[in-house]
Amino acid sequence: MRSVVDPKDLRWIWITHADMDHLGNLEAVLSEATNARIVTTYIGMAKMGLHGLPLVRVFLLNPGQSLNVGDRQLMAVKPPTYDAPETTGLLDKNPIH
């Protein structure tokens, strides 16, 4: 991770769905990314809790809700197909210049 970004610069970690192949290293990442919050849905948070993962840094964002990440406004969207009920994608409505 350090070859791409300084973990201390991470602010948000978006969990698209809470399968263990997406969550397996989350605690290690959070220990390095001390300023990061986990973005997931209510169902995603519940599944994380079932796996014993920390929930204190969770930011709930369900489909249709938006998150301001500085110069971007990202909206959680439900994709047309998915493999888990909590699956979400990101929609950035800001134009790219």
For the chain, list the domains and their CATH numbers.
Answer: 7-92 (3.60.15.10)
Cα of first residue to Cα of last residue in the chain, in angstroms, is 28
Flag whether pLDDT at 96 surpasses 80.
no
Strand, helix or coil for residue 21: helix
In this prediction, residue 3 has a pLDDT band, given cuts at 50, 70 and 90, of confident
pLDDT in tens, 9-41: 999 999 988 888 878 889 999 999 999 999 999
Residues whose CB falls within 8 Å of the CB of residue 96, separated by 6 or more in sequence, listed in order: none
Please report which helix (H) or strand (E) contains residue 43, including its range: helix 42-50
pLDDT at 42: 93
CA distance 18 to 46: 9
CA distance 34 to 74: 22
- pTM here? 0.85
